[in-house]
Amino acid sequence: MSSPSPWNAETAAVLIAEHRALPGALLPMLHALQEEFGYIDQAAVPLLADALNLSRAEIHGVITFYHDFRREPRGRHVVKLCRAESCQSMGADRLVAHAKGRLGVDFHHTTKDGRFTLEQVFCLGNCALSPAVMIDGELHGRVDEAGFDRLLQETGKSK
Amino acid sequence: MSVFRIFVPCDASALSMGAERVAEAVAGLAKARKAEIALVRNGSRGLFWLEPMVEVETPEGRIAFGPVTPQAVGEIFDAAMAPNRAHPLYLGPTEEIPYLKRQQRLTFARCGIVDPLSLEDYRAHGGYRGLERALGMDGAAIVEEVTQSGLRGRGGAGFPTGIKWQTVLKTTAAQKYIVCNADEGDSGTFADRMLMEGDPFVLIEGMTIAGIAVGATEGYVYIRSEYPHAYRQMQRAVGIAREAGHLGPNLLDSGKTFELHIRLGAGAYICGEETSLLESLEGKRGMIRYKPPLPAISGLFGKPTVINNVVSLASVPIILDKGAAHYRDFGMGRSRGTLPIQLAGNVKRGGLIETAFGLTLRQLIEDFGGGTATGRPLRAVQVGGPLGAYFPASLLDLPLDYEAFAAEKGMVGHGGVVVFDDTVDLARQARFAMEFCAIESCGKCTPCRIGSIRGVEVIDRIIADQERDKNLLLLDDLCTTMLDGSLCALGGLTPLPVQSALKHFPQDFDRPAGRIAAE
């Protein structure tokens, strides 16, 4: 996962146009925008509404419905902790408390230095190797507190 | 010197234990020793505690090592060449590993064996025989074959697949769709992910057969965004199949058309509910729809739609290839065929176990799983995801069968089994069930949207010993309201884990306040 580029209306318009012909195009458009900018800027809403002949309220409704779509810029790295039952059975609650303490932020927040955004997720499909963590799209299994710290360190090094 | 094929899985779970670095080490070793090694990135065999599990092809068949570290790759290579193969990580011939040997793999027959992106490999292992047979049949005969197999939806509801298809076949429309529900959101499940990563063509073939059977020319696979590896793999596989003329117009020179699109979800558990998924595919909020009309009559974009889970669709090729009777001969009672069980949570040997219906939880957890990972006594098992019941150790002799589970007020669901040791607090698990429902509710109906929030509050009061008896009654009442009054399974089944926890573990709701740390 590369660092997102700053919001740019022209790039956004190109991305929206690229997906315009798809049936049910809004989710693919939102994914493309978030991939590029790391979040969905408020300024994208009228562009999307215009392209799809929908109201701004409808676009807003969709963005806010899905847990994936962020409305604020993210940090350079996204750390997702699984909180679902399988991971709970292997100490996910402890790991969550540890991670929050380590990063000094709650879920859906970004560290002050802009390096890490912490997210909760319900199941990463790695349930035979719980607890699971995903960092920048890379999956990790059997992550204990010390393992989490190591992962953060490695991620920090990779910039 | 002959070329050795070395298999290092590209499955997301294997990668989560360092398979990528192992693959790099194998490639590096091949270069350093000028050995002729063909590195194959297979799917996982589903023996996850052994990942990364590396296999080497020898004249006597494939042999396995695991869990392999990058440092051990050189030694393993030497051991594989040596006559006695002595190495602490040596597991023997792969097929002889008891965990695998005791399974009956039909749907997962190729997973972990083939190169997932090689059509030649897929065909060499029986791939596309089902479609080729289907192309010589009319739609009604294909549907009949699926009906006769007894296949029931493996997504969780267990609805007979053939009956769904029959409805779509009968409905006339200019356009029909096949939709694959790959929004595998249940905790404790990963069968869909493994198949999409390890044998994507089987899903493509199954969907193509479905399309030909009911007269649908377009299909969508809706994959949850938590599965980026599966998403990329499916995209590649569809590209390869299209390029080779296995998808698109006049596929396999049959004169038939079937086009397939891969779409990504956006982190909403509710989109695993079929009508909510259809809304999401249409680019809307994933709000569930009232039924009727059934999706089979008015589904995606208002057109007749077959919507099935990954495992259901991936079971179709073998049914068409070997015939309905072959598949139906596995299983018990009205649960026919095999069930890919996913053994997860606090268990020593978690993984994918595909076997005929009827295996008991005890056989599964003790014989396959080897007990808890922590070594502590088992206290509870949750089967069927976050909406499934919690069972106590005394019910471990329950066979995995749709009807047997329903009789105990539980469900097999998508086949996920999550094991908990004796540190689990079932009052907290019950609270979590309500919390999860509150987070993931689409908000359309009141029992689910509001009921789940009130459920958290009531359980909090029970835990805190505030008017406990009164609140237990209230919780019971609330569960009944959610069960009877919710529009879909999310609100309607959230009472299952709650009430099973209350029934089987009442002592957890009857502790002095303060014993449980508030959160």
Residues of A within 8 A of B382 (CB-CB) are 85
Residues of A within 8 A of B51 (CB-CB) are 129
pLDDT of amino acid A159: 52
Please state the rounded mean pLDDT for residues A13-22: 97
Instruction: Look at A102-116, B70-84, B209-223 and tell me which has the smallest mean pLDDT.
Output: B70-84
Please state the rounded mean pLDDT for residues A73-100: 97
Instruction: Look at A145-159, B224-238, B388-402, B459-473 and tell me which has the smallest mean pLDDT.
Output: A145-159
Distance from CA of A89 to the nearest CA of B (A): 5
DSSP symbol at A100: H
User: What residue ranges define each of the domains in chain B, with the CATH number in brackets?
Assistant: 4-101 (3.40.30.10), 119-327 (3.40.50.11540), 330-421 (3.10.20.600), 426-518 (1.20.1440.230)
- Is pLDDT above 60 for B516? no
pLDDT band (50, 70, 90) for residue B85 = confident
Q: Are the beta carbons of A68 and B225 separated by less than 8 Å?
A: yes
Number of helical (H) and strand (E) elements in chain B, helices listed first = 21, 16
pLDDT of amino acid B96: 97
Strands B61-65 and B351-356: unpaired
Gap between the Cα atoms of B70 and B265, Å rounded: 34
Tell me, yes or no, if the pTM score tops 0.80.
Answer: yes
B106 vs B81, residue with greater confidence? B106
**Tens digit of pLDDT for each residue in A124-136?**
999 999 999 999 9
User: What residue ranges define each of the domains in chain A, with the CATH number in brackets?
Assistant: 9-65 (no CATH), 77-158 (3.40.30.10)
Residue B124, burial from CB neighbour count under 10 angstroms (0-12, 13-18, 19+): exposed
pLDDT of amino acid B514: 61
Please state the rounded mean pLDDT for residues B507-513: 91
Strands B305-309 and B177-182: parallel
Residues of B within 8 A of A137 (CB-CB) are 228
pLDDT band (50, 70, 90) for residue B518 = very low
Q: Are the beta carbons of B345 and A62 separated by less than 8 Å?
A: no
Q: Name the average pLDDT for chain B.
A: 95
User: Do residues B181 and B309 lie in contact, with contact meaning Cβ atoms separated by under 8 Å?
Assistant: yes
pLDDT of amino acid B216: 98
Residue B51, burial from CB neighbour count under 10 angstroms (0-12, 13-18, 19+): buried
Long-range contacts of B80-85 (CB under 8 A, 24+ apart): B80/B4, B80/B56
pLDDT of amino acid A2: 67
Residue A112's CB: how many other CB atoms inside 10 A? 10
Distance from CA of B441 to the nearest CA of A (A): 10
What residues are paired with A139 via a beta bridge?
A134
pLDDT of amino acid B2: 62
Residue B252's CB: how many other CB atoms inside 10 A? 15
A49 and chain B: CB distance < 8 Å anywhere? no
pLDDT of amino acid A158: 65
Q: What is the share, in percent, of chain A residues with pLDDT greater than 70?
A: 97
Strands B378-383 and B351-356: unpaired
Closest-CA residue to B155 (of B340, B11, B404, B297): B340
Please state the rounded mean pLDDT for residues A94-120: 97
User: Do residues A49 and A63 lie in contact, with contact meaning Cβ atoms separated by under 8 Å?
Assistant: no
Please state the rounded mean pLDDT for residues A105-131: 97
pLDDT of amino acid A145: 97
Gap between the Cα atoms of B99 and B84, Å rounded: 23
Please state the rounded mean pLDDT for residues B266-273: 97
What residues are paired with B483 via a beta bridge?
none
- Is pLDDT above 70 for B13? yes
Torsion (CA) B497, B433, B495, B266 in degrees, nearest 10: -110
Gap between the Cα atoms of B222 and A23, Å rounded: 14
B331 vs B511, residue with greater confidence? B511
Q: Are the beta carbons of A127 and B190 separated by less than 8 Å?
A: yes
- Is pLDDT above 50 for B517? no
